[in-house]
Structure 1
Amino acid sequence: MTDRISVRGLRARGRHGVLAAERELGQEFVVDVTLFLDTAVAAARDDLSMTVDYGELAQDLVKVVEGEPVDLIETLAQRLADVCLSRELVFSAEVSVHKPSAPIPLPFDDVVVTITRSRT
């Protein structure tokens, strides 16, 4: 059985990017995560300890975005996936990092990197 818990549109300010201005000024990043796990026991017992506390997860994800800068949003996505997979019950995670203010000198809506990672 594969169940999903998703957090969509989580916003945090970070200083990620290869340009000096991105590091100095920072910008908003938007994160979407989907965790794949079995929630049947949690549902049967109505017990938060048997699933993932998405409020706690969101706080941990924001700490990563607000934390140590990286050049690539691919690297940021990997760090966020590591946070998701640190939850014992999660066997895989899909992470999307949106960079809506990326330094592109043309009109655009969004830049998104999406990765899927599983326990090895």
Structure 2
Amino acid sequence: MIIRLNDMVFYGYHGVNDEERKLGQRFIVNLEMQTHPETDSVIKRLEDTVDYTKVYAEIREIMESRQFLLLENCANIVADKLLTDFPLIWKLKLCIQKPSVPIQGILKSVEVEVQRTRE
């Protein structure tokens, strides 16, 4: 089963530049989680699957209460925390997008993506 949380928007204080960490900005997070194919057919109750309201709360907590210099570090922390706290997540793909990038040039955003599979 694939479960997606699309375009979650959080306000955080992440970035290499002091101004980014002082003023903060929006971050857009997309998450794709997969449960194991062998257990998908027995999903009948919330306890049989991943409670995405709790997943959202975990991501929000990390994105809004912590500071990271690098999005890569932030993505790794979120991915590891989700795999630790939600044993029914078999695979995940997490993308964190930063729309306001302090680059002298024109671009829509910068994004990092991390993928994990439970061993």
TM over 0.5: yes
- How far has the Cα of 1:67 moved from its partner? 1.9
- How far has the Cα of 1:53 moved from its partner? 0.8
Q: Which residue, 7, 25, 28 being the options, matches 1:27? A: 25
TM-score by length of 1: 0.90
What are the ranges of 5 or more consecutive residues in structure 1 without an aligned counterpart?
none
Structure 1's consecutive aligned runs of 4 or more residues displaced over 6 angstroms after TM superposition are none
Q: For 1:65 and 1:47, locate their aligned partners in 2 and report how far apart those are by CA, in whole Å.
A: 29
- How far has the Cα of 1:84 moved from its partner? 2.3
Matches of residues 26-45 of structure 1 in structure 2 within 5 Å?
26-38=24-36, 39-42=40-43
Report the residue type matching 2:83 in the other structure. L
Aligned residue number for residue 49 of structure 1: 47
Aligned residue number for residue 106 of structure 1: 105
Report the residue type matching 1:78 in the other structure. N
The percentage of counterpart residues that share the same residue type is: 30
TM-score by length of 2: 0.91
What's the secondary structure of 1:41's corresponding residue? coil
Report the residue type matching 2:41 in the other structure. A
Taking only aligned residues, the RMSD between alpha carbons, in angstroms, comes to 1.1
What's the secondary structure of 2:101's corresponding residue? coil
Alpha-carbon contact 2:12-2:27 (below 8 Å) kept: yes
Alpha-carbon contact 2:58-2:82 (below 8 Å) kept: no
- How far has the Cα of 1:58 moved from its partner? 0.6
How many residue pairs are counted as aligned between the two chains? 115
- How far has the Cα of 1:54 moved from its partner? 0.7
Alpha-carbon contact 1:35-1:84 (below 8 Å) kept: no
Q: Which residue, 74, 77, 83 being the options, matches 2:75? A: 77
Report the residue type matching 1:74 in the other structure. E
